[in-house]
């Protein structure tokens, strides 16, 4: 049994839609995916999702494939990936 912590990646993304979405609406959309994603933070239109390093590519594909949030059509684009919340915030969300 391994005692190592998982190596997390933080993926910054942008949600473009007809209206501003709340954190709860985005969280519900992420949890509805086949592999639910962990939402670290969201402040319309920018968000930050967490995954393990092995799930990074699948997470990016899932985010880019997200088409609806709270019944409205959206376009989600990933902005970048980082190994820490701080670096992701400084590089992509500020």
Quick one: which of 64, 73, 3, 1 has its CA closest to 33?
64
pTM over 0.85: yes
CB atoms near residue 74 (< 10 Å): 20
Residue 55 gets which letter from DSSP?
G
Q: What pLDDT tens digit does each residue of the chain (94 aa) get? A: 667 889 999 999 999 999 999 999 999 999 999 888 999 999 999 999 999 999 999 999 999 999 999 999 999 999 999 999 999 999 999 8
- Could you tell me the CATH superfamily of domain 16-93? Ribonuclease P, Pop5 subunit (3.30.70.3250)
Could you give the CA distance from residue 74 to residue 16 in angstroms, rounded to a whole number? 6
Quick one: which of 68, 58, 60 has its CA closest to 15?
68
Specify the 3-state DSSP secondary structure of 92.
helix
């Amino acid at each position: 049994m391994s005692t190592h912590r998982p190596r997390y990646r933080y993926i910054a993304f942008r949600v473009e839609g007809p209206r501003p979405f709340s954190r709860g609406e985005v969280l519900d959309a992420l949890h509805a995916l086949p592999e639910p994603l962990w939402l670290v933070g969201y402040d319309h239109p920018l968000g930050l999702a967490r995954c393990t390093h092995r799930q990074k590519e699948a997470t990016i594909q899932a985010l880019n494939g997200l088409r609806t949030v709270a019944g409205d059509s959206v376009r989600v684009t990933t902005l970048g990936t980082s190994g820490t919340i701080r670096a992701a915030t400084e590089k992509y969300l500020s």
